[in-house]
Each structure stands twice: as C-alpha cells, then as structure tokens.
C-alpha cells in the first residue's frame, strides 16, 4: 500500500466529505461512467458535476479519460485503501474499548445474578 502525505490524506478526506462525491464514487465502483452519467442522479449541470469530479481527481480517487468529446471516469482505489488503513487504527481502538465494556457488563451481570435480592 502506498503511504500518503498528510496533505494528500487531507485532500482525500475533503473529497470524501461530500455526499455527492461519495455517491459518484459508489457509482464508479460499479464500472466506468461518463460525466453525464455521474451528474444525472443529482439533477445537476455538467459544469457542477465537473467541479465535483475535479475534486475527486485532485484527491487521486478517480481518473478521467477523454474519448473524443466524451469524458469517461474510472475509480482509482489506492487512496481509498490508504484512508481505510488510517481509519483502521480507530476501528481497532473502538473494538478494544467495546470489548472491555462488554467484559465489564458481563461481570456485572454475573455478580448481580449471584447476589440474592431482598424482598
């Protein structure tokens, strides 16, 4: 996996911070699409879609290929893998914390089931 600089990671997370761009990436995960295809679900102009695509390109998340007058976009998964790896550290942190909480709750349940209730 390629290591990205702090600036590159900022650019990747900025690009992922917009719902429209995340939707475009999800569409591109299914295969190549034109700029028009990517704009259609959002009822936006090609110019507006192109701005979103430029942000995704700047982050290295997509690659645009020009075929005549048609711009075709492709997903570039490398930066997503780096973002996932960075987030993985926090996933491990929370998994550990939740495991500790589960253990404490189970101990509490065991203690309360052993203690006779007063009636």
H/E segment holding residue 49: helix 46-58
Query: Could you tell me which residues come within 8 angstroms of residue 44 by beta carbon, excluding any fewer than 6 positions away?
Result: 20
Work out the pLDDT band at 37, boundaries 50, 70, 90: very high
Position of tokens 């997509």?
A: 62
What Å distances lie between residue 119 and 111, 116, CA to CA? 18, 9
- Distance, CA of 52 to chain centre: 16
Domain segments of the chain as ranges: 6-79
Residues 94-106, mean pLDDT to the nearest whole number? 89
Q: What is the pLDDT of residues 19-34, one digit of tens each?
A: 999 999 999 999 999 9
pLDDT for 2 equals: 57
Residues 91-118, mean pLDDT to the nearest whole number? 84
Total number of residues shown for the chain: 119
Q: What is the pLDDT of residues 42-69, one digit of tens each?
A: 988 999 999 999 999 999 999 999 999 9
Q: Determine the CATH number of domain 6-79.
A: 1.10.10.10
Token output for 105: 């709750």
């Amino acid at each position: 996996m390629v290591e990205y600089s702090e600036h590159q990671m900022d650019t990747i997370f900025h690009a992922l911070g917009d719902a429209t761009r995340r939707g475009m990436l999800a569409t591109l995960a299914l295969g190549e699409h034109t700029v028009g295809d990517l704009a259609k679900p959002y009822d936006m102009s090609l110019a507006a879609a192109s701005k979103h695509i430029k942000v995704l390109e700047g982050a290295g998340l997509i690659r645009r290929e020009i075929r005549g007058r048609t711009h075709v976009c492709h997903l570039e998964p490398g930066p997503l893998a780096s973002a996932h790896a960075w987030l993985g550290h926090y996933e491990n942190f929370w998994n550990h914390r939740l495991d500790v909480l589960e253990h404490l709750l189970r101990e509490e349940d065991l203690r309360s089931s052993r203690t006779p209730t007063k009636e």
